[in-house]
Amino acid sequence: MPVTDNMPTTAKLVAAIGLGIVGWVGSDMIRPLMPADTSFGWFNYVNLVLGALCGWVVTGKRVGFGWAEGFSAGLTGVGALVVWGLFAQSFAEMLSRSLDRRYTGPVEGLTAMVELAVEFGTYLLNGPLIGFLCVGGILTGLVAEWVARRWS
């Protein structure tokens, strides 16, 4: 692993900003797909932060090695954003339900969290949303690759 993997770089910043934007806009695209009585709360903000973290940690570390790697790093970052977003949102919903005493034990809560993640994942099976996430990830990876080549 190169020494610069742990150092802040402009490419990591660009990847964090790019995936943060993808997280925010993707959250706005998810809202109409969910049931009408859904309370979103901090939904966009959580996905913005998760996008920025995935951009910095996942995509930002993988750019600077060629255009194909930048392309795939962007898709990997979006995949990580989706997985962590599903985990965070299902965990928050499970905690909310557990405070209402819906579960008898921690194992039941954890299995419900997995079921919630699968349920939330089915709402993400939408063509325009999938297309936006893929294109947004690819563009983020390619722009971060360009920045890594330009300013390194």
> In this structure, is residue 2 part of a structural domain?
no
**pLDDT of 136 over the 70 cut:** yes
> In this structure, is residue 50 part of a structural domain?
yes
CA-based torsion, 127, 114, 103, 93: positive or negative: negative
> In this structure, is residue 1 part of a structural domain?
no
CA-to-CA dists, residue 109 to 11, 29, 34, 85, 115, angstroms = 39, 28, 22, 18, 10
pLDDT 10s digits, 40-88: 899 999 999 999 999 999 999 999 999 999 999 999 999 999 999 999 9
pLDDT 10s digits, 26-47: 999 999 999 998 888 999 999 9
- pLDDT at res. 39: 85
Higher pLDDT, 151 or 48: 48
How does residue 1 score in pLDDT terms, banded at 50, 70 and 90?
A: very low
How does residue 6 score in pLDDT terms, banded at 50, 70 and 90?
A: confident
Number of domains in the chain: 1
Structural domain including 63 reads 7-31+39-150
Whole-model pTM: value is 0.91
- pLDDT at res. 143: 97
Kindly write down the DSSP assignment for every residue of 124-149, as one continuous string: T--HHHHHHHHHHHHHHHHHHHHHHH
